[in-house]
A and B are shown apart, each in its own frame.
Chain A
Amino acid sequence: MEPINDDYKNIPGWGMDADPENEPTYPIKNYTGDDHNRINYERSPQQLQTVEILKSIERPSLSVVFGTTVPPSGLSGMIRRYAFKHSEDRYRHWLPLIMADRINVCEGVISDVLHGHFPNMIKERGWAVEWKYNRARFVKKIGIATLIAAGVAALVCKTVNDR
């Protein structure tokens, strides 16, 4: 996009106080002025797209390379596709992604079971090392979790019985 005022260099005083030493990003950024060329730089050949990639709508095309692991699928994939219709500025982008992550966990358990693999939750959560190195706190945590679960169960039972 061209500047609206293409005669800006004739504005009185234009550039007279510019101080090239005032570069707070140095040395993290070695300013070259290339930023003004925007995305018009030499790119490597484009990686071929072989799986579905959800692209940010804040860029015009895929980056030259990208990861191909775990393409979107199932209900979580549908939610992710919705999220990627919105910019990274929007809650409509991030909150659905967080929800999709939680649904994806359930999908993972279902997929495991359908493939004949019953996930070993105790092993996957590394509880053996908690038991070995942190037994008192671990027992306390399990106790609190059990109490909360029992309380919720009792509340549900009472509500059902009252009806």
Chain B
Amino acid sequence: MLAMNYRGPYRVRTVQKPMPEILHPEDAIVRVTRSCICGSDLHLYHGLVPDTRVGSTFGHEFTGIVEEVGPMVQNLKVGDHVLVPFNIACGKCNFCKQGLFGNCHESNPMATAVGGIFGYSHTAGGYDGGQAEYVRVPYADVGPTVIPPDMDPDDAVLLTDVVPTGYQAAEMGGIKEGDTVVIFGAGPIGIMAARCAWFFGPSRVIIIDHIDYRLEFAKNYAKCEAYNFKSMEDPVLFMKKTTDWYGADVCIDCVGCEAEGNTLQTFSGRVALMQAGAVTALQWAINSVKKGGIVSIVGVYGPPFNLLAIGNVMNKGITIRTNQASVKRLLPKLIDHVQSGRLKPSELITHRIPMEEISDAYRMFSSKLDNCIKTVLIPPSAKA
């Protein structure tokens, strides 16, 4: 089968790989129909996630047709068209039982800080991902969800990560009616967080980035205010001024470890690798939020550590809320939002690229070329 193959930082290609096999009685084999490149895949692509081994296949946002099921699978049958949450969850451990499906304790032997994630390095369990024609899906009765027959498949594939992560970013903000919410990062997750923030009743939603076409897209899609931090002398000061010198009620970091905007952070975190990426956006979030405010983090930061103004968190009494999105917990609500027409995630998709052109697809998304917002890969077996 054809699969994406990581060769090193900024180098990927497609190769023929052996077909995946059932390795556990609760596994399924899924033929991929759509697969996305996620912003967090770029951290792998840029070589920033430890234990990313040459030969790995990335991809944690995908839909597909069930081709084979293990003997203990009861809820899925061959031929079902499913969306597969990015987190691999057993449904039985104490974390899963309490809704923390992104923190499953039985899907990743290689690190205790993170649950298993498809195609996201050996730090996240060493699974091959969905940027391939076929993929092994563990715990097939827990995560995979049959796509409603009236749902656009392009909407469905974005329900595997982008929509739940954006929604949970807003949900963790504890947004109250009338609040001012500031979102750092106008990538797909930031745009979705801005759109989903309105579900919680704020009076203002502001998004900050440095790429004009993305800000323009966010303004139209999420009906929010959009500002380019490169046009500001000091983004934190701008936030204070625009909130009557009070600070935002809620700040959301949708950027993670590859933030721009601070030379020292960029050099120490992205060039010299003296810390686990640049923490500029989170720093701005902490310093822009009001005293007693809430900072929600869904931007991805790697181990082992970052240089951050933690003293201000304490002195301002900030509550930090963060987690990998618990996709399974959120799916019923989000499917309803999509089916009712309140959310149209597929409008984020700007590029549809054959999987054979994977290296171009990664470069285009990484370098933000051709006004790229979201890229969907189409495997050859899905075109038939």
A-side residues, CB < 8 A to B, are 24, 27-32, 34-35, 37-39, 41-45, 47-48, 50, 53-56, 58-59, 61-70, 72, 76, 80, 83-84, 88, 91, 93-95, 97-98, 100-102, 104-105, 107-109, 119-121, 123-130, 132-134
Shortest 6 CB-CB distances between A and B: which pairs? A126-B363, A67-B126, A67-B127, A105-B8, A108-B54, A133-B369
Complex interface: chain A residues within 8 A of B234 (CB): none
* Contacts A/B (CB < 8 Å), 9 sampled: A24-B319, A28-B99, A28-B323, A28-B326, A29-B100, A43-B106, A55-B110, A80-B51, A84-B110
CB within 8 Å of A: which of B113-131? 113, 116, 122-123, 125-128
Report yes or no: B50 in contact with A30, Cβ–Cβ below 8 A.
no
CB within 8 Å of A: which of B355-384? 359-364, 367, 369-370
* CB contact between B56 and one of A56, A61, A64, A69 (< 8 Å): that residue: A69
* CB contact between B321 and one of A28, A48, A134 (< 8 Å): that residue: A28
Complex interface: chain B residues within 8 A of A134 (CB): 367, 369
CB distance from B334 to the nearest CB of A (A): 14
* CB contact between A69 and one of B13, B126, B168 (< 8 Å): that residue: B126
Complex interface: chain B residues within 8 A of A48 (CB): 23
* CB contact between B110 and one of A30, A53, A133 (< 8 Å): that residue: A53
Q: How large is the interface on B (under 10, 10 to 19, 20 to 34, 35 or more residues)?
A: 35 or more
Complex interface: chain A residues within 8 A of B126 (CB): 53, 66-70
**B260 CB within 8 Å of chain A:** no
**B265 CB within 8 Å of chain A:** no
**B24 CB within 8 Å of chain A:** yes
Report yes or no: B360 in contact with A29, Cβ–Cβ below 8 A.
no
CB distance from A20 to the nearest CB of B (A): 14
Complex interface: chain B residues within 8 A of A91 (CB): 304
CB distance from B211 to the nearest CB of A (A): 13
**B7 CB within 8 Å of chain A:** yes
**B259 CB within 8 Å of chain A:** no
Cα(A79)–Cα(B47), bound, Å: 17
CB distance from B121 to the nearest CB of A (A): 9
Complex interface: chain B residues within 8 A of A61 (CB): 109
**B39 CB within 8 Å of chain A:** no
Q: Using known A-B contacts A31-B98, A41-B92, A123-B13, determine if residue A65 contacts B111 with beta carbons closer than 8 Å.
A: no
Report yes or no: A98 in contact with B359, Cβ–Cβ below 8 A.
no
CB distance from B244 to the nearest CB of A (A): 27
Cα(A83)–Cα(B53), bound, Å: 14
CB distance from B356 to the nearest CB of A (A): 11
Nearest A residue to B142 via CB reads A44
Nearest A residue to B97 via CB reads A34
CB within 8 Å of A: which of B199-226? none
Complex interface: chain A residues within 8 A of B326 (CB): 28
CB distance from A114 to the nearest CB of B (A): 14
CB within 8 Å of A: which of B325-352? 326
Nearest B residue to A58 via CB reads B112
CB distance from A118 to the nearest CB of B (A): 12
Report yes or no: A65 in contact with B138, Cβ–Cβ below 8 A.
yes
Report yes or no: B363 in contact with A108, Cβ–Cβ below 8 A.
no
Q: Using known A-B contacts A28-B172, A30-B99, determine if residue A56 contacts B54 with beta carbons closer than 8 Å.
A: no
* CB contact between A67 and one of B26, B116, B359 (< 8 Å): that residue: B116
Complex interface: chain B residues within 8 A of A88 (CB): 111-113, 303
Report yes or no: B7 in contact with A63, Cβ–Cβ below 8 A.
no
Report yes or no: A66 in contact with B125, Cβ–Cβ below 8 A.
yes
CB within 8 Å of A: which of B87-111? 88, 90, 92-94, 97-100, 105-111
Nearest B residue to A64 via CB reads B106
- The CB with the most chain B CB atoms within 10 A, among A28, A76, A93, is that of A28
**B57 CB within 8 Å of chain A:** yes
* CB contact between B364 and one of A31, A53, A129 (< 8 Å): that residue: A129
Report yes or no: A104 in contact with B54, Cβ–Cβ below 8 A.
yes
Q: Using known A-B contacts A54-B110, A65-B88, determine if residue A101 contacts B47 with beta carbons closer than 8 Å.
A: yes
CB distance from B266 to the nearest CB of A (A): 16
Could you list 17 further interchain pairs (A-B, Cβ under 8 angstroms) beyond the known A94-B303, A101-B51?
A39-B94, A44-B26, A47-B23, A63-B108, A64-B90, A65-B23, A65-B107, A67-B128, A69-B128, A70-B53, A70-B56, A70-B126, A101-B50, A108-B54, A126-B363, A129-B363, A133-B370
Cα(A45)–Cα(B26), bound, Å: 9
Nearest B residue to A107 via CB reads B54
Q: Using known A-B contacts A34-B97, A124-B13, A126-B360, determine if residue A53 contacts B50 with beta carbons closer than 8 Å.
A: no
Q: Using known A-B contacts A44-B92, A63-B105, A65-B116, determine if residue A130 contacts B359 with beta carbons closer than 8 Å.
A: no
* CB contact between A63 and one of B12, B26, B52, B106 (< 8 Å): that residue: B106
Complex interface: chain A residues within 8 A of B111 (CB): 56, 88
**B68 CB within 8 Å of chain A:** no
CB distance from A48 to the nearest CB of B (A): 7
* CB contact between A56 and one of B11, B23, B112 (< 8 Å): that residue: B112
- The CB with the most chain B CB atoms within 10 A, among A43, A61, A129, is that of A129
Nearest A residue to B8 via CB reads A105
